[in-house]
Amino acid sequence: MPGSKHSSSKCHGHGHGHGTSSKTYIWVWYCENCNTGPLNCSIDAQCTNPHCQHTRCGRCTTEQVASHHHRKSAARIRP
């Protein structure tokens, strides 16, 4: 359910909206130690707060949120 929060030691895969919706949903998490977030479940195994760096655990809160569809491309450098 989009926008729902729960505690979990596992994050879930990407989901897609129903019908003609082009929304993509991703799982994010919030550090239970310092409340940093949202952090991406797919790429952030540890809290990104340099003073915390807590490894995600079952007490960290996860949430499914809508993600904007962005093309992945190499970084562009402006002249």
Are 78 and 21 spatial neighbours (Cβ–Cβ below 8 Å)?
no
How many structural domains does the chain have? 1
- For 15-41, what is the mean pLDDT? 84
In a domain, 74, yes or no: no
| Burial zone of 50 (CB within 10 Å; 0-12 exposed, 13-18 middle, 19+ buried) | exposed
- Tell whether 17 is covered by a domain: yes
> Given pLDDT bands bounded at 50, 70 and 90, which one contains residue 55?
very high
CA angle 60, 62, 65 (to 5 degrees): 155
Residue 32 maps to a domain: yes
pLDDT of residue 42: 96
Q: Could you tell me which residue, 25 or 75, shows the higher pLDDT?
A: 25
Checking if the pLDDT of 2 tops 70, the result is: no
Distances (CA, A) of 34 to 20, 46, 60, 72: 38, 12, 10, 30
Domain that holds residue 61: 1-68
In a domain, 49, yes or no: yes
